[in-house]
Amino acid sequence: MKQPAALFLDFDGTLAPIAPRPEQAWLPLKTLRLLKSLSRRVPVVIVSGRSLRDIRFRVGLEGIIYAGNHGLEIAGCGLRHRIGDAIHWRRFLKAVAEQLRKDLSGLHGILFEDKGSTLSVHYRLTRGAVRRKAARLFSGRMGPLQRRGRVRITRGKAVWEIRPPVEWDKGRAVAWIMRQPKFRGRWPIYIGDDETDQDAFRMIRRIGVGIAVGPRNQKGSAHFVLRDPGEVYRFLRRVLDDFRKKNGTTVGAD
């Protein structure tokens, strides 16, 4: 690798294990320390479906860039960029959320996550007939809005994402960041576990390396696969050790 690198990392299912409820996911302390060490040597970007405020709270490191809401809001290291966050959209999304809560009320295991610019409806805790009914009700309510171009609907791991009707995703967010002075000429390494990360894998396909996390049959447009957050940690540890060897520092010390 002749070009200097830049690290783009998803959070849930990549750095942190998937949790039953969104608020239960936390970054392991050893991973936090590793990210801090890496950020001193290479630009690090956390790209998450969580809101910018939430992902900053859960990672809490200075000196890195955060891309929340699938890249709709980007901040850190002097950068700030926001897409589709008008007041009228927030009001519309609030009305949509209220209607969906009514539609899906009484279905055990449905969780709503209002992230300001987007809304997530989690169904990980549902099973069988309840999950099928939830899908039918969700489609009935959101299908017409999507067809009229009022919303964008995407799917993640056991979650429906309601986004503003703008052409923006993790891939476009990474492309925007790569055009910034600190990133120009760098070689992007993107690691993520969800369907939404495939947009980023496609974007960097010819200019960097995409690494999917999970089963090999879900690699999609990524170049390589790591099994779980534990393997992601070990891979990043090797990356850090390589930096230290090249700089003549002691491996394992910081």
Share of the chain above pLDDT 90, in %: 87
SS3 91: helix
54 is catalytic: no
pLDDT attached to residue 88: 83
- The pair of structure tokens assigned to 2 is 């002749």
Residues 183 and 228 in one domain: yes
Question: Does the pLDDT value for residue 87 go beyond 80?
Answer: no
Q: Please identify, among 141, 163, 185, the residue that sits at the C-terminal boundary of a domain.
A: 163
Share of the chain above pLDDT 70, in %: 96
pLDDT attached to residue 83: 87
Q: Domain count for the chain, please give it.
A: 2
- The pair of structure tokens assigned to 95 is 């009305």
Residues 60 and 117 in one domain: no
Length of the chain: 254
Residues 230 and 137 in one domain: no
Residues 69 and 190 in one domain: yes
pLDDT attached to residue 160: 97
Domain assignment present for residue 251? The answer is: no
Residues 72 and 175 in one domain: yes
Dist. CA 104–CA 102, nearest whole Å:
6
pLDDT attached to residue 251: 43
Residues 152 and 27 in one domain: no
Question: Does the pLDDT value for residue 7 go beyond 80?
Answer: yes
Residues 68 and 91 in one domain: no
- The pair of structure tokens assigned to 29 is 């302390």
Q: Active site residue: 10, 169, 193, 197, which one?
A: 10
- Domain, as residue range, for 35: 5-83+168-246
Q: Please identify, among 163, 194, 220, the residue that sits at the C-terminal boundary of a domain.
A: 163
Question: Does the pLDDT value for residue 253 go beyond 50?
Answer: no
- The contacts found for 134-139 with CB under 8 angstroms, 24 or more apart, are 134/104, 134/107, 134/110, 137/103, 137/104, 137/107, 138/100, 138/103, 138/104
Binned at pLDDT 50, 70 and 90, residue 27 comes out as: very high
207-247 pLDDT, tens digit per residue, is 999 999 999 988 999 999 999 999 999 999 999 998 888 77
